[in-house]
Amino acid sequence: MLDLGWTELLVIGVVALIVVGPKDLPLLFRNVGKFVGKAKGMAREFSSAMNQAADDSGVKDIQKTIKAATNPLGSAMEGVKDTAKDIASSMTDLDPSSETAKLGDQKIERVENAKKIHAATARATADRKASEAEEALKRAEKYEAELAPNPTKES
């Protein structure tokens, strides 16, 4: 916005401290912060109003046309994406006996099977880690028992 660096801000702060004084400096900074916040809010509101006016006047359509003229490959890809979305939305109205519907059902079945495999793998991993933890606990207890002083042995 104003492109101030740290050194400029430091100089401004020192001058403000000298001119205003340490007692009123927090109040000054608070008021400056409120002013800057209001200014940013007004700028944001102005910008959104200008964007809305541009949308209402059809600037977006002109911009899209110019973009298509300058980048024909990109506009062609957007057309392909739009067509793919249309096809995907029309696939919900398929005949259940058609090959495409069968392929979709097979994909759903594969996804469900993959989820079952992931769940089983996670369960097996959790069981393995639990058994490893039990074994480690047993070893720790064994070592603690070996290190503990034996009251039956007297020197």
Mean pLDDT lowest among 23-32, 90-99, 109-118: 90-99
pLDDT at 35: 94
Residue type, 45: E
Are 101 and 95 in contact by the 8 Å Cβ rule? The answer is yes
What is the rounded average pLDDT of the residues 25-41?
Answer: 91
How high is the mean pLDDT of the chain? 82
* Cα(66)–Cα(23) distance, integer angstroms: 58
What is the rounded average pLDDT of the residues 49-62?
Answer: 80
* Cα(73)–Cα(86) distance, integer angstroms: 20
What is the rounded average pLDDT of the residues 24-37?
Answer: 90
The angle at the Cα of 36, spanning 32 to 37, to the nearest 5 degrees, equals 115
The angle at the Cα of 66, spanning 61 to 67, to the nearest 5 degrees, equals 95
The per-residue pLDDT for range 103-149, each reduced to its tens digit, is 777 888 888 888 999 999 999 999 999 999 999 999 989 888 888 77
For residue 94, give the nearest of 82, 85, 106, 103 by alpha carbon. 103
Are 23 and 31 in contact by the 8 Å Cβ rule? The answer is no
